[in-house]
Amino acid sequence: MSRHGSPSLAQQVRKGRLDAALVALPLDASGLVLSPLPYQEPLIAALPASWPESSVAGLALRAFNHRPLFWFKRERNPAFFDYTRRMFERAGYTPAYVEEPRSMTFCWPASRAGKG
pTM for this model (two decimals): 0.64
The pLDDT of residue 10? 93
Say whether both 16 and 54 belong to one domain: no
Say whether both 60 and 23 belong to one domain: no
Asked whether residue 17 is assigned to any structural domain, the reply reads yes
The pLDDT of residue 109? 58
Say whether both 47 and 17 belong to one domain: no
The pLDDT of residue 93? 94
Asked whether residue 37 is assigned to any structural domain, the reply reads no
Domain with 99, as residue range(s), is: 42-116
User: Total domain count for the chain?
Assistant: 2
In the chain, the N- to C-terminal Cα span, in Å, equals 28
DSSP string computed for 71-97:
E--GGG-HHHHHHHHHHHHHTT---EE
The pLDDT of residue 48? 81
The pLDDT of residue 26? 87
3-state SS string for 2-25: CCCCHHHHHHHHHCCCCCCCCCCC
Closest Cα partner for 98 from 61, 54, 64, 67? 67
80-108 tens-digit pLDDT: 889 999 999 999 999 888 887 665 555 55
Say whether both 26 and 54 belong to one domain: no
8-65 tens-digit pLDDT: 999 999 999 999 999 988 888 899 999 988 888 787 887 888 889 889 988 899 999 9
Q: How far is 23 from 34, CA to CA, in rounded Å? A: 9
CB 35 within 8 A of CB 100: no
